[in-house]
């Protein structure tokens, strides 16, 4: 029996945000930046790669470190983070890794003979007059690349469009930050052949356009589907990945809405203040596997924006080529509800909020539940868990086939006394009296028989704070 696929789909000790998925020779490869658990900033670790067979998406293989920040000649102790990358196969058959180092506004390129590396530094993207693009006032600020080889053209998409203000103005230093831009590259993968063309406006200039409700912020990602170009990006609001479509790669893009929100904002008309998970920035891309489209994105953990994890969801395309917003689930790549038997770790929850609801992760208070781990970064001795379930906190999991399930064992620890009620969102399925004092204990109770696609919501009511470690369906 194949291993089931969960969200997050990588091991719970791995923190890969900004994931760009590609199907290459029967395997799905994910290239992203690399957060550090407990880190004080974004993307502190070197680039790594993970891959899985296209017909076994619960079986991910660690391909190792593919590129180190010290390989870039501009690296120093201050400029020491590798932001979101993208990878493309060039016309020569080699693989090219595009990325930015820290916030210097310069796009760098590394090259490898195979998709999973090792990559070697090649150079910095430069304008047609030879200067490094992003080093002069008036240049496009280079950030979050999206790259595609389209026939005889090599196209680079890039941009960063923060709200105007003192800190952002100092960062931009006169460089363009008014949207996303498309640039055609020469065969050397480094030289921009013409002038960059803006394809999506930022918040400062989106009024009156199709992007007005979802202005471009960052996270450029590009796919060609049929004869149309799909540009995926993160909006000014951060939590949502949006998309725009055009018949041409460098103009005419029209915003078509939201692909996924890491707070499920937009699902069932939900507003930001009604988010069902702690939110933050978002970044990802589309891939088609076995005839099914998926959107890859990331979630936030540890009450921080700096420990993000890779997630993916099925997403449906209608007959007009438009996508319907995907909901967050625990079983995204599984392609079916999870089995109604066996042990499930708490960290695969797709909803998490306190009695006051959810918010952006950086604003979470002391009463907020959160995903976390014991030990240091990249230590795999113990799985993640949900910490700090206080009175009224909810952890939700979607979906399970519970047609034959008759009992649930709830594994908790901490210092708490109260009840753990399990519902499907409407009906109480189980209720356990919970009392723990430091130690780890399982509380087993009957589970009412239900259907083949059922969510499970765990709500703690009582005193103290409980950690939810996992649960067993029997």
Which residues are the active-site residues?
A: 18, 218
User: Hey, what are 206's tokens?
Assistant: 């989106």
Tokens representing residue 387 in the block: 């910490």
């Amino acid at each position: 029996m194949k291993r089931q696929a969960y969200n997050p789909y990588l091991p719970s000790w791995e923190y890969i945000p900004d994931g760009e998925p590609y199907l290459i020779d029967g395997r799905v490869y994910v290239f992203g930046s690399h957060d550090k658990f407990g880190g004080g900033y974004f993307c502190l670790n070197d680039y790594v790669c993970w891959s899985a067979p296209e017909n076994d998406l619960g079986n991910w293989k660690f391909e190792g470190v593919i590129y180190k920040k010290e390989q870039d000649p501009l690296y120093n102790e201050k400029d020491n983070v590798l932001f979101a990358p993208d990878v493309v196969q060039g016309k020569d058959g080699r693989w090219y890794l595009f990325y930015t180092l820290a916030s210097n506004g310069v796009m760098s390129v590394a090259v490898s003979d195979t998709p999973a590396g090792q990559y070697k530094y090649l150079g910095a993207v430069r304008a047609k007059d030879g200067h490094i693009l992003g080093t002069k006032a008036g240049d496009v600020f280079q950030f979050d690349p999206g790259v595609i080889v389209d026939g005889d053209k090599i196209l680079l998409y890039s941009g960063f469009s923060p709200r105007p203000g003192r800190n952002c103005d100092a960062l931009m230093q006169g460089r363009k930050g008014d949207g996303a831009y498309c640039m055609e590259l020469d065969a050397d993968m480094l030289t921009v052949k013409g002038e960059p063309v803006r394809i999506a406006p930022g918040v400062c200039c989106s009024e009156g356009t199709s992007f007005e409700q979802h202005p471009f912020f960052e996270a450029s990602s590009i796919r060609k589907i049929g004869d149309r170009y799909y540009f995926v990006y993160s909006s000014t609001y951060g939590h949502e990945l949006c998309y725009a479509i055009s018949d041409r790669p460098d103009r005419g893009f029209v915003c078509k809405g939201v692909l996924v929100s890491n707070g499920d904002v937009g699902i069932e008309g939900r507003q930001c203040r009604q988010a069902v998970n702690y939110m933050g920035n978002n970044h990802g891309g589309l891939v088609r596997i076995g005839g099914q489209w998926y959107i890859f994105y990331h979630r936030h953990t540890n009450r921080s924006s700096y420990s993000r994890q890779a997630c993916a969801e099925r997403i449906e395309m209608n007959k007009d080529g438009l996508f319907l917003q995907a909901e967050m689930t625990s079983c995204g790549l599984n392609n079916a509800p999870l089995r109604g038997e066996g042990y499930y770790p708490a960290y695969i929850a797709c909803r998490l909020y306190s009695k006051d609801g959810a918010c952006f992760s950086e604003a979470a208070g002391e009463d907020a539940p959160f995903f976390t781990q014991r030990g240091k970064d990249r230590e795999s001795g113990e799985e993640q868990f949900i910490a700090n379930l206080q009175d009224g906190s909810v952890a939700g999991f979607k979906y399970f086939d519970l047609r034959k399930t008759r009992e649930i064992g709830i594994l908790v620890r901490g210092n708490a006394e109260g009840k753990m009620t399990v519902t499907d969102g409407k009906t109480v399925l189980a209720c356990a009296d919970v009392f723990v004092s430091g130690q780890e204990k399982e509380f087993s109770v009957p589970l009412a028989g239900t259907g083949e696609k059922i969510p499970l919501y765990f709500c703690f009511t009582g005193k103290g704070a409980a950690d939810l470690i996992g649960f067993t369906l029997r």
